[in-house]
Amino acid sequence: MKKCTKCRELKDFSLFPKRKDSSDGYRNTCKICRLEYSRKWHQGDIKKKVYKDLDGKKQCRMCMQIFNISNFGRSKVNKDGLKSYCGKCKRKESVEWRKRNKDYGREYRKKNLDKLIKQNREYRCKNKEAIEATKKEYAINNKELISIYKKDWYSKNKAKVLEGKRRRRDRQANCGENYTRGDERITLRAFDHKCFRCNREDKLNIDHHRPLVKGHGLNVGNAVVLCETCNKSKGSKDPEKFYGIKICVKLDKKLARIVQDK
């Protein structure tokens, strides 16, 4: 049995037209209601794009009330570019649909996992700057919330943090890393005690120019001064990707001179 969204009556599935892209394979309005609507349409009782005749307003197909077009979501299917239901009715219809199809989302993700991963990767590549801007804005506006979350995460994942530190020490030992306090002073002087990327003078860190995860240990020829923010932003990225090729070439030359002058 299925409920017609027009007459609101429960009817057998055989009384509904078929539709491939619907979750149950049938349209939401029964054949009788569709025939009645078609008859009224051809007789001229129903006007197309009602909102145009109502000065920027539109009639909801579910509750039949007239609202401003701002109450209707966008639609790629409808010719007027707006959904047929007002916001309130659409939310109500969505809640009912989710109740009827509780496992749909989970099953869809399982069947289309590779497709969804590819789509997400493409979206992140195309909208990288917008995503980073959103993250920065959120971080600025929610400092206290983020701090609470980090403390809570750390208290629940101490073993994971310790394991990460242990792996880092192993990588440092395997690549022969031996960066002394004297080397640190040389690096700071060479970069005028400023962040190489933004010229900030406080909260400075010594960063691996080329990442430790790729076997590059910290030494005078692979040490760059970055502020805390830029250091976190760089993470384990390759310098060409983080700075850009032109700036990276200049930085490589600068590091080579520091090694020669040591």
> What pLDDT shows up at residue 178?
77
pLDDT(173) > 60: yes
Give the tokens for residue 132.
């980073």
> What pLDDT shows up at residue 149?
92
Report the C-alpha gap between 85 and 97 in whole angstroms. Answer: 14
Nearest to 212 by CA among 229, 224, 203: 224
In a domain, 113, yes or no: no
Who wins on pLDDT, 94 or 20?
94
Give the model confidence (pLDDT) of 211-223 as tens digits.
Answer: 888 888 888 999 9
In a domain, 151, yes or no: yes
pLDDT(201) > 50: yes
Same structural domain, 200 and 143: no
In a domain, 13, yes or no: yes
The total number of structural domains that make up the chain:
4
Report the C-alpha gap between 21 and 95 in whole angstroms. Answer: 19
Q: Which helix (H) or strand (E) holds 230?
A: helix 228-234
Same structural domain, 202 and 243: yes
Q: Which residues pair with 26 in a beta bridge?
A: 18
Q: Which residues pair with 3 in a beta bridge?
A: 10
Boundaries of domain holding 89: 57-99
Same structural domain, 156 and 189: no
Q: How confident is the model at residue 254 (pLDDT cuts 50, 70, 90)?
A: very high
Per DSSP, the three-state class of 59 is strand
Give the model confidence (pLDDT) of 226-244 as tens digits.
Answer: 999 999 899 889 999 999 9
Q: How confident is the model at residue 45 (pLDDT cuts 50, 70, 90)?
A: low
211 neighbors 171 (Cβ within 8 angstroms): no
Q: Could you give the percent of the chain with pLDDT greater than 70?
A: 95
In a domain, 49, yes or no: no
Q: Please state, as a whole number, how many other Cβ atoms lie within 10 Å of the Cβ of residue 34.
A: 15
Reduce the secondary structure of 72-87 to three states and give it as a string. Answer: EEECCCCCCCEEEEEH
The mean pLDDT of 11-20, rounded to a whole number, is 90
Count of CA atoms in the C-beta half-sphere (13 A) of 163 = 5
In a domain, 95, yes or no: yes
Phi, psi (degrees; rounded to nearest 5) at 219: -150, 175
55 neighbors 61 (Cβ within 8 angstroms): no
Q: How confident is the model at residue 168 (pLDDT cuts 50, 70, 90)?
A: confident
Same structural domain, 166 and 206: no
Q: Name, in order, each residue with C-beta under 8 angstroms of 59's C-beta and a sequence gap of 6 or more.
A: 50, 51, 65, 66, 67
Range with the poorest average pLDDT among 14-23, 101-110, 161-170, 199-208: 161-170
> What pLDDT shows up at residue 197?
92
Give the model confidence (pLDDT) of 64-96 as tens digits.
Answer: 999 998 899 988 888 788 888 999 999 998 999
In a domain, 111, yes or no: no
How far the first Cα of the chain sits from its last, in Å, is 83
> What pLDDT shows up at residue 245?
92
Who wins on pLDDT, 176 or 228?
228
Mean pLDDT score across all residues of the chain: 87
Q: Please state, as a whole number, how many other Cβ atoms lie within 10 Å of the Cβ of residue 89.
A: 21
pTM over 0.75? The answer is no
32 neighbors 7 (Cβ within 8 angstroms): yes
Report the C-alpha gap between 229 and 139 in whole angstroms. Answer: 12
